[in-house]
Amino acid sequence: MDIKPILATLSRHRVAATLIILEIALACAVLCNALFLAVSRMDMIGMTSGVDESTIATLSLNDCEGCEPADLNGRWLQQLRSQAGVQAVGVVNAVPFGQRAGTAGISLDPEGKHFGGVPHFYLLDPGAIEVMQLKPVQGRSFNDADFQNVDNFLPANAQVWITQAFAEHLWPGESALGKSFWMSEYQFTVAGVLEHFARPDPGRSENGVAGAQWSVIVPVTTHAQSGTYVLRANASDLPRIIRDAIAAAPKVTPEAILSMDYSKPLTQLRETFFQQDRAMTRLLLGVCLAMLLVTALGIIGLASFWVQQRTKQIGIRRALGATRGQIIGYFQTENFLLTSFGIVLGMLMAYAGNQLLMQYFEIPRLPLYYLPFGAVLLWLLGQAAVIGPALRAAAIPPIAATRSA
């Protein structure tokens, strides 16, 4: 079909054509970024934590004034090990989807000139590593000498495990084994790499979604810290074990306050942590549907208006021999051109919007494949929306040319 007459007609209706192009452009920009954010959140909700959450629970104390770590740990470890069904117990500073307790920026040089990001430092004793059944996919396991006391916050010079995600961030394309990084005067040497180990606050840390698995595992002695405990048991036994432990807390440590929010199985901690993300995903998908609906209604409204305005012109074309298929094709081609102009502008707006989101909200770059996906979706939507008005136009009889004269 010759598009010159269509372009000439559109040039005589510049305002209406410009408005529908801008509407499609806005829909394209919002649709691409909203879908990307929704998919990113869904990926985050389903992320691999690196542990078998169904068999692990944690108990956490908010405060224990005047308690000595060795005494506090002794009481709680004895209590938990005495409960039927408990397979292993350990001491930690944090767990995935729980309270974060060890976030700090690191550098790749002792002088602190080469900033490496902000990982979460997990402090795990031998029992905690057994509970979580952590094994590096590269490097070695910790030996007895690796478990040290802490100097204020961390051991002064420690062998650590890091995740593959963090290793790739620090040393892209290189092996991380044997390499070192620093946090102030503390030096850490990579002894092993874990495939996955989620930080307590994935997606909400200083590095956003990109840093969801930026974790460092630091081996420490059992009494280097106190107040947070992990245990492993069969999934069916965990609810009972947690209830019994909570009930025993006033007797075990009457001077301490048990945190009910963080004394739960890891499955419940995950469920609670991602409540906001699930709500955001539903909101973003709702925004996508609303934009598609508004765009479709705009196309239908404009096409219907033009059919009404062009009744005489369509009647003349029918009288000169134009078929119904040609009339339908005319409106579909016209809509395709408008949609294409809007999509080109919308892709530029989508890219610019993503740059702003990257700058202010620490989200990843918009993958390019979202742009053609959004374009195809809007092209299909445009063709579907215009088919009703186009059929009405095709139904105009040739005699309409004389009635409208």
pLDDT digits (tens, 9 = 90+) for 315-362: 777 777 778 888 888 888 888 888 889 889 988 888 888 888 777 766
Question: What confidence score (pLDDT) does residue 364 get?
Answer: 73
Question: What confidence score (pLDDT) does residue 214 get?
Answer: 96
Q: What is the pLDDT of residues 136-151, one digit of tens each?
A: 999 999 999 999 999 8
Percent of the chain with pLDDT over 70: 94
Question: What confidence score (pLDDT) does residue 404 get?
Answer: 45
Six token digits for residue 366: 């918009």
Percent of the chain with pLDDT over 90: 50
Q: What is the average per-residue pLDDT within 213-230?
A: 95
Backbone angles phi, psi at 112, to 5 degrees: 75, 20
Backbone angles phi, psi at 122, to 5 degrees: -95, 130
Q: Is the pTM of this model over 0.75?
A: yes
Q: What is the pLDDT of residues 270-283, one digit of tens each?
A: 999 999 999 999 99
Q: What is the average per-residue pLDDT within 228-244?
A: 95
Query: E strands within 166-261?
Result: 180-183, 186-194, 215-219, 228-232, 256-258
Q: What is the pLDDT of residues 90-102, one digit of tens each?
A: 999 999 999 988 8
Q: How far is CA 180 from CA 106, 107, 110, 311, 397, in A?
A: 10, 9, 9, 77, 81
Comparison of pLDDT for 213 and 312, the residue scoring more: 213
Lowest-pLDDT range of 39-43, 191-195, 354-358: 354-358
CB count within 10 Å of CB 302 equals 22
Backbone angles phi, psi at 49, to 5 degrees: -80, -25
